[in-house]
A and B are shown apart, each in its own frame.
Chain A
Amino acid sequence: MANKTEKIAVLGAGTMGAGIAQVAAQAGFPTLLYDIKQEFIDAGMGKIKAFLAGSRERGKLSAEQEKEILDRFQLTTSLDDCKGCALVIEAAPEKLELKRDIFRQLDAVCGVETLLASNTSSFNVTAIAASTQHPERVLGLHFFNPPPLMALVEVIQGDRTSSATIEKATALMKAIGKTPARAKDTAGFIVNRIARPFYNEALRILGDGDASVENIDKVMKEAGNFRMGPFELMDLIGNDINFAATESLYRSFFEDPRFRPSPIQQRMVLGGNLGRKTGRGFYVYAKK
C-alpha cells in the first residue's frame, strides 16, 4: 500500500481503538495512536503487532510490509499531537462527559479543517458535538468489532454536521478500505437498531415457551440461512454486552415495547452466565 500523506489519529488503544489504528496504518496512512497512559498504548500496540505477525506467518504480509506498517505509527499521550491531522477518531470508553471533554480539547487543538469523529455506539453524535465551537466538523464513525476484519463503517451525520464533512469522511473510509454506510444520528444508527429483533424476538419466543434455544438456533440457521443462531451469537457477544445494548435502545426510544429487554437475559446477566467468556450462557462451554 502506497504511503499517504493525510494523518489519522485514533484516541484510545483498547480493542476498538487499536483495531481502527491498525486499519488506518495498513491502508498507508501515517497513524497517531493516543491513550492516557503509555502502558495502555503498549498493550494496544502489542495486539496490533501480534495480529500483523499472524498475517505474516500465514503469508498474507511480507516482513517488509509489516515493518512499513509499524513504521507509520506515532504514539503519544498528548492530545496536542492531534494538531494537523486530517481525521481524529475517538474510541474512548462510553462515557458522555469523558467524550465531551475530549472533543472540547480537540476543538481547541485542531484547525477547523480536521474532522473529529467518535466511534460511539450509544450516544448521539449531536450531544458530543455540542461541546465544541465547530459542530459542523464533528461526526460519528462507527466501526464493528474486530475493525481489521469487519468491512462496515457507519458514517453518522449529527444535526449540525456539514455535508462536506460527511463527504470527506466517506471518502477517507473508502481510502482505508472500508465500506461506508451513511446514517442519521438516531439511536442505534442502522445496525444495532435493526438487528435488535434478531436477539429480542428470539428471547420472546423462548420466554413464551414457543420453541427451545436449540430449535430457534437451528431454524434461524437452516431455514433463515443466518450464519449463527441468535442464542449462539448472544453467547459469543456476551449476554452482558447484548443486554446493555438492548436496554440502551429501549431507553433511547422512551420505552417503546419493540425494544423491551428480556427478563430471561437479565437473569442470565445477574447470574454471571455471560456466554462463552464465562463458560456458560444459553449453552454450556467446555473449560479451556
Chain B
Amino acid sequence: MPKSNLAIVGNSRLAQDLAAACKEKNLEAAFSANAADLEPTTPLVIETCAGDRDRKKALLQKLDDFLPANAVIVSSCLGFGVTELASWIKKPERLIGFATFYPLKDRKVVELARGLRTSESTARSAAEIFKSLGKETVLVKDTAGLTFPRILSLIINEAARALEEGVASAEEIDVAMRLGVNYPQGPLKWADQIGLDEVLAVLEGLLGETGDDRYRPAPLLKRLVTAGFLGETSGRGFYSYNETQVKP
C-alpha cells in the first residue's frame, strides 16, 4: 500500500466526494470511515463527521493520539465551533475547521475557520490541501456552519417550517424559490441532496453555540432525521426517491 500524504475520514457523501476529488487530482489519499486503518505517518487528515458529538469527539481524540505530533487535522465545523472541536484534543493548535456541503463539484470556494488556538502553519496547510484539490479557500471567523452552510441551512429550515405548517407543497415551495428569487435549486430538493442530517447539524450547532431561538430546527426536519430519512442517499427525505415508497 502506497504511503499517503493525506487521509479522508468519515462515511458521509461529502467524505466520499472528497476522496473522489483526490483521486481525480492524482493525490494519494487514504479513505477511512472511522480512522481504524490509517497509516500512523499520515501528515494531514480531513475529518468530515458533522453532528454526532460523541462519535466526532472519539474520532478526533483517536486521531490526535495516533497521528504524528506535527500532523494537521482539518475537521468539519458544520455542527460545532472550531475552538470547541480543538478543545477536545491535546494539541489544539493542529486543528482547523472547514465547512461545506455535498457535492464538491459545485463549490469553487471552501470556507475555513481557525479556532482561538489554531496555529498559523495549520491554517496554511489546510489552504494548500484545498488548493491542490482545485478549491479556493476563504478564511472566516469561528462559528458552527461558517457562512454558506449556515445561511443555506436557515433557508432550508424556514422551507421545512412552511411545509410542515401546510403553507404549500414541497414541489411548490421549490419551484417558487427557483423562479421567484432565482435560487440555483429549490431548498427542499437541495436539502435532500446535501443530507438532512448535515443541515440539522448546522442548526443544532448554532443553537448550541448561541442559545438563540432563531436557530431552533423545524420539528419536521428533526423527525425526518430521527426516522433515518436523510434525503437522496436513504431514498427519502422531503421527497421520496423510491417509487415503491409512500410519499409523506
Q: Which A positions have Cβ atoms within 8 angstroms of B?
A: 144, 150-152, 154, 179, 181-184, 186, 189-191, 193-198, 201-202, 205, 208-211, 215-216, 218-220, 222-227, 230, 256-258, 260
By a CB distance below 8 angstroms, the chain A residues around B25 are: none
By a CB distance below 8 angstroms, the chain B residues around A189 are: 167
By a CB distance below 8 angstroms, the chain B residues around A224 are: 148, 151-152, 184
Which residue in chain A gives the minimum CB-CB distance to B142?
A: A210
Distance in Å: Cβ of B193 to nearest Cβ of chain A: 12
Say whether A257 contacts B173, CB under 8 Å: no
Q: Is B69 an interface residue (CB 8 A)?
A: no
Q: Is B162 an interface residue (CB 8 A)?
A: yes
Could you list 5 further interchain pairs (A-B, Cβ under 8 angstroms) beyond the known A194-B159, A197-B151, A219-B111? A193-B162, A202-B147, A219-B109, A222-B107, A222-B109
Say whether B106 contacts A225, CB under 8 Å: yes
Binary per-residue interface labels of chain B (96-114) against chain A in the complex, 1 for a CB within 8 Å, 0 otherwise: 0000100000111111000
Distance in Å: Cβ of B28 to nearest Cβ of chain A: 26
- Name the contact of A220 in the complex, choosing from B147, B182, B213 (C-beta under 8 A): B147
- Name the contact of A218 in the complex, choosing from B109, B165, B183 (C-beta under 8 A): B109
Query: Which chain B residues (112-153) contact chain A, with CB distance < 8 Å?
Result: 136, 138, 140-143, 146-148, 150-152
Distance in Å: Cβ of B134 to nearest Cβ of chain A: 13
Distance in Å: Cβ of B140 to nearest Cβ of chain A: 4
By a CB distance below 8 angstroms, the chain B residues around A196 are: 158
Distance in Å: Cβ of A176 to nearest Cβ of chain B: 15
Distance in Å: Cβ of B197 to nearest Cβ of chain A: 19
- Name the contact of B140 in the complex, choosing from A186, A191, A194, A215 (C-beta under 8 A): A215
Chain B interface residue count, Cβ-Cβ cutoff 8 angstroms: 45
Say whether B172 contacts A210, CB under 8 Å: no
Q: Is B225 an interface residue (CB 8 A)?
A: no
Say whether A194 contacts B151, CB under 8 Å: no
Say whether B166 contacts A191, CB under 8 Å: no
Taken together as a complex, chains A and B put the C-alpha atoms of A155 and B219 apart, in Å, by 26
| 23 A-B contacts (beta carbon < 8 Å) | A181-B168, A181-B173, A182-B168, A183-B176, A184-B168, A186-B162, A194-B158, A194-B173, A194-B187, A195-B180, A197-B158, A198-B181, A201-B150, A210-B140, A215-B138, A216-B147, A218-B109, A218-B138, A219-B147, A222-B107, A222-B109, A223-B147, A258-B158
Taken together as a complex, chains A and B put the C-alpha atoms of A222 and B100 apart, in Å, by 12
Taken together as a complex, chains A and B put the C-alpha atoms of A208 and B145 apart, in Å, by 14
Distance in Å: Cβ of B167 to nearest Cβ of chain A: 5
Q: Is B58 an interface residue (CB 8 A)?
A: no
Say whether B147 contacts A215, CB under 8 Å: yes
Q: Is B177 an interface residue (CB 8 A)?
A: yes
Taken together as a complex, chains A and B put the C-alpha atoms of A154 and B176 apart, in Å, by 8
Distance in Å: Cβ of B218 to nearest Cβ of chain A: 10
Query: Which chain B residues (147-201) contact chain A, with CB distance < 8 Å?
Result: 147-148, 150-152, 154-155, 157-159, 162, 165-169, 172-173, 175-177, 179-184, 187
Given A181-B172, A209-B141, A219-B111, A194–B213 Cβ distance below 8 Å?
A: no
Taken together as a complex, chains A and B put the C-alpha atoms of A267 and B152 apart, in Å, by 25
Q: Is B24 an interface residue (CB 8 A)?
A: no
Say whether A152 contacts B167, CB under 8 Å: no
